[in-house]
Structure 1
Amino acid sequence: MANRLLAHEVSDLCLGKPPLSSIPISATIRHALAALKSSDDTHISVWSCDLDHHSTTHDHCHCVGKICMVDIICYLCKEDNISSPSLALKAPVSVLLSPIPGVVKHVDPSYSLLEAIDLIINGAQNLVVPIKNTTSKRKQLRQPTSLAPTTHAGGREFCWLTQEDVIRFLLSSIGLFSPTAAYSIESLGIIDTKILTINYHSPASKALAAISTSLSDQTSVAVIDDDGVLIGEISPFTLAYCDEMVAAAITTLSAGDLMAYIDCGGPPEDITKVVHARLKEKNLYGMLDEFLIYSSGIPYCNSTSSSSDEETTVLSPVTTRSGRYNRSDKFIMRRAEAIVCQPRSSLVAVMIQAIALRVSYVWVIEEDCTVVGIVKFSGMLKVFQEHLESLID
């Protein structure tokens, strides 16, 4: 049974995965924004293609990165862009790409499960894997710029694998990791105490650098009170389902008010009025015009949350969730509450909670709700890597 798990290749994890949503590196941020709003995915892959002068096709294409709504929001929040978002959106999409090498990495379908885990532990967030074509015709990027194909030479299409995909796959064979999976996260030494925090009453703009860092680290920013108690979070996983005009809220609100703003597709009217007034105070009329257009047409949502897990719970400072419409006009709900556990929580319990709520981390708190650290998918994967390598030895 263990040998069968070790024999798996990354192609086995790609079964049923859809082809990547893609834009060319020549696209502008506005084109990327349109692509994100029309996609069912929260991330869009960015491709660079070198034209073979002896052919009419692009034979040398490579995925050079990925972008999401959070990249655009953080970009619009910059001092040079907040006053004129329309102008900022005309910039090339390349300015949003991560400067960290290896975040997106091409791999052969025959890569082993262990090789994939090793790449992720060493910084790869998305593994780009070729798959068989799902269409008979060559796909083109739906962008108003110079179009580039989503396929490489030979007509191949691509999907990508994430940390969540690998963790979900390992969870399906969790019995092979007994008794390790039942050990507490504290005993396994995977609680990371280097966390990003902001005080509840601090300006949300002070969290901007932390938001960018948490996006790169696939974590979140903890919102705490003066005693270090976890009140909630500002999560890239939530922001990815919001509109770009959250940039106006980050610029004008406190961290606590920002949580309420992004906690639903339509923020409370009183907070919307605060954003409007403060944009006027700051003479940010370019952003104000965009915000007025945005705020006039947002749907409002209301929903409650619950958790049945015994060891891992949900800290719920509010009762709504965030979301946005996809191209099918279906409202996508997203938890905005902080997902928490305690040091004695078992590895498998934390895995299940993270997978169920589609996040790659869980906050670790003490009984008095003070935050002590965070458990990430990358830390979990190190545990499984060591276990699988021991089977080889």
Structure 2
Amino acid sequence: MAVSLLAHEVSDLCLGKPSLRPLSVSATVGDALAALKSSEESFISVWDCDHSARIGFSEEKNDVRCRCIGKVCMVDVICYLCQEENLLSPSAALKAPVSAILPKIPGPVMHLESSSSLLEAIDLILQGAQYFVVPLPTKKSSISRRKQHLKASSSSSHNGREFCWLTQEDVIRFLLSSIGLFSPLPALSIDTLGIIGSDVLAVDYYAPASSAVGAISHSLAKQTSVAIVDGDGVFIGEISPSTLACCDETVAAAIMTLSSGDLMAYIDCGGPPEDLLRAVQGRLKDKLEGMLREFTILSSLITDSSSSDEESALYLTRTTSKSGRLSRSFSYSARMVRRAEAIVCHPKSSLVAVMIQAIAHRVNYMWVIEDDCSLIGIVTFSSILKVFREHLETICLDD
């Protein structure tokens, strides 16, 4: 039964999904920033399309001429603006091509045919795929196809075709809906299954937040997070890319002036505390006045020309604080009741419990801690999918 479940086509997991909002590879970082701010989605797909050579309407040819080459989110923009060469002139940095913020890791976004099996998708995830681009169904009539062709000729659509994202979360959610078919696997602990990864991204609570930029960027690419620990290795919280993705570009100023622990509180869903706002204001005024002016221009937040530098700085940080309050509904559930606290589990937690907890909080990973809050490691969706894949191989060998 479990084997037949994974024979489902990936189109079964895409029912009701919205079409992707495309951004051309010829766009700038500023264009991507504007698109992200005006979108309800947390990231935008980037496409390399060549419509000039199109001859007639052919779905097969469309696959060659229109390819999604990656995705970008606000975290990509923020990390890009935190680079040393971009700090003093972020407005100039935004004129760079969007390729400057595309992940450098090859293959995180892959095209997948709607007729592909769920098992194929899982195998690709285990090979490193993070997201799939799957075509949405199109009408079959020739009249509809001609209308799509005309529409494509006068718009930025992919030759009349639409696509959606298929994520690791979608796959885990689908497996969870039929978890009883995999008995006794779901009842086993994550410790027993050996899926607790020790290769975690972590920074010290008192370390400068700027030192965590590389780890934040890497965790985004891997769909994990950056752990905040103290000197004894006790887990305190996290800097979550999913939370940062709900901020705006001005949070880069906070990253360059605060400690990792303070940044964790600054971007928390309740909004940054007043003392942290004033800390950013003062440090920007003293050390980064040029960047302050640039960010103020970027966000169209310039106060009256008679305002003092101190008033402008406070206005910027107050406006930046709005980014700390999550603007996309899905991200709120990824936080626990206590401020800036990450979603955690115990090594003896069962596989199904971890899956349910991760799905409920819309995260692709779970931090694993001991009773004394010391950090043991992390469990990811990809490691969970590997267990299911190995379980299926065992079933096939037994048969």
| Range of TM-score over shorter length | 0.7 to 0.9
Whole-angstrom distance in 1 between the partners of 2:357 and 2:46: 31
Amino acid of the structure 2 residue aligned with 1:295: T
SS at 1:338 equivalent: coil
Whole-angstrom distance in 1 between the partners of 2:353 and 2:98: 39
Q: Is the 8 A contact 1:128 1:161 kept in 2?
A: yes
Segment of structure 1 superposing worse, 205-214 or 58-67: 58-67
SS at 1:62 equivalent: strand
Q: TM-score, normalised by structure 2?
A: 0.84
Structure 1 residue 140: Cα displacement: 8.7
Tell me what 2:387 maps to: 383
Tell me what 1:210 maps to: 215
Segment of structure 1 superposing worse, 127-136 or 354-363: 127-136
Whole-angstrom distance in 2 between the partners of 1:49 and 1:294: 38
Structure 1 residue 378: Cα displacement: 0.5
Structure 1 residue 337: Cα displacement: 2.1
Whole-angstrom distance in 2 between the partners of 1:74 and 1:51: 32
**Does residue 151 in structure 1 map to residue 158 in structure 2?**
yes
Whole-angstrom distance in 2 between the partners of 1:137 and 1:131: 13
Q: Is the 8 A contact 1:280 1:288 kept in 2?
A: no
Segment of structure 1 superposing worse, 364-373 or 265-274: 265-274
Tell me what 1:191 maps to: 196
Q: Is the 8 A contact 2:29 2:98 kept in 1?
A: yes
Whole-angstrom distance in 1 between the partners of 2:239 and 2:70: 24
Tell me what 1:251 maps to: 256
Cα–Cα, structure 1 residues 5 and 252, in superposed 2: closer, same or farther, change >3 Å?
same
SS at 1:166 equivalent: helix
Q: TM-score, normalised by structure 1?
A: 0.86
Tell me what 1:367 maps to: 371
Tell me which of 327, 334, 338 is aligned to 1:325.
327
**Does residue 107 in structure 1 map to residue 112 in structure 2?**
yes
Larger Rg over CA atoms: 2
Whole-angstrom distance in 2 between the partners of 1:165 and 1:344: 25
Cα–Cα, structure 1 residues 283 and 300, in superposed 2: closer, same or farther, change >3 Å?
closer
Tell me which of 257, 265, 269 is aligned to 1:260.
265
Give RMSD over aligned pairs: 2.5
What does 1:204-243 align with in structure 2 at a 5 Å threshold? 204-243=209-248
Tell me which of 320, 343, 346 is aligned to 1:342.
346
Segment of structure 1 superposing worse, 132-141 or 34-43: 132-141
SS at 1:66 equivalent: strand
Structure 1 residue 47: Cα displacement: 0.2
Any gaps of 5 or more consecutive residues in structure 1?
Answer: 142-146, 302-321
Structure 1 residue 284: Cα displacement: 3.9
Q: Is the 8 A contact 1:221 1:235 kept in 2?
A: yes
Tell me what 2:83 maps to: 78
Tell me what 2:317 maps to: 295
Structure 1 residue 276: Cα displacement: 1.5
Tell me what 2:93 maps to: 88
Amino acid of the structure 1 residue aligned with 2:156: P
Q: Is the 8 A contact 1:49 1:61 kept in 2?
A: yes
**Does residue 166 in structure 1 map to residue 171 in structure 2?**
yes
Segment of structure 1 superposing worse, 354-363 or 31-40: 31-40
Structure 1 residue 331: Cα displacement: 9.8
Structure 1 residue 55: Cα displacement: 4.7
Segment of structure 1 superposing worse, 167-176 or 34-43: 34-43
**Does residue 176 in structure 1 map to residue 181 in structure 2?**
yes
Q: Is the 8 A contact 2:91 2:294 kept in 1?
A: no
Q: Is the 8 A contact 1:9 1:112 kept in 2?
A: yes
Q: Is the 8 A contact 2:132 2:166 kept in 1?
A: yes
Cα–Cα, structure 1 residues 332 and 160, in superposed 2: closer, same or farther, change >3 Å?
closer
Whole-angstrom distance in 2 between the partners of 1:86 and 1:100: 26
Cα–Cα, structure 1 residues 82 and 140, in superposed 2: closer, same or farther, change >3 Å?
farther
Amino acid of the structure 1 residue aligned with 2:11: S
Q: Is the 8 A contact 2:186 2:352 kept in 1?
A: yes
Cα–Cα, structure 1 residues 234 and 298, in superposed 2: closer, same or farther, change >3 Å?
closer
- The total of aligned residue pairs comes to 363
Tell me what 1:5 maps to: 5
Any gaps of 5 or more consecutive residues in structure 2?
Answer: 297-312
Whole-angstrom distance in 1 between the partners of 2:138 and 2:34: 25
Segment of structure 1 superposing worse, 181-190 or 83-92: 83-92
What does 1:61-72 align with in structure 2 at a 5 Å threshold? 61-72=66-77
What does 1:40-51 align with in structure 2 at a 5 Å threshold? 40-51=40-51
What does 1:268-307 align with in structure 2 at a 5 Å threshold? 268-290=273-295, 292=313, 294-297=316-319
Structure 1 residue 177: Cα displacement: 1.2
Tell me which of 120, 129, 133 is aligned to 2:125.
120
Cα–Cα, structure 1 residues 294 and 118, in superposed 2: closer, same or farther, change >3 Å?
farther
Q: Is the 8 A contact 1:49 1:148 kept in 2?
A: no
Whole-angstrom distance in 2 between the partners of 1:138 and 1:379: 42
Whole-angstrom distance in 2 between the partners of 1:56 and 1:111: 26
Amino acid of the structure 2 residue aligned with 1:98: P
Cα–Cα, structure 1 residues 78 and 190, in superposed 2: closer, same or farther, change >3 Å?
same
Q: Write out per-residue CA displacement over residues 131-165 of structure 1, whole angstroms, 9 at most, x where no aligned residue.
A: 12599767999xxxxx962324xx22111111101
Amino acid of the structure 1 residue aligned with 2:45: S
Q: Is the 8 A contact 1:84 1:287 kept in 2?
A: no
Q: Which has the higher helix share?
A: 2
SS at 2:46 equivalent: strand
Structure 1 residue 2: Cα displacement: 2.8
Q: Is the 8 A contact 1:168 1:355 kept in 2?
A: yes
Structure 1 residue 52: Cα displacement: 3.4
Q: Is the 8 A contact 1:223 1:231 kept in 2?
A: yes
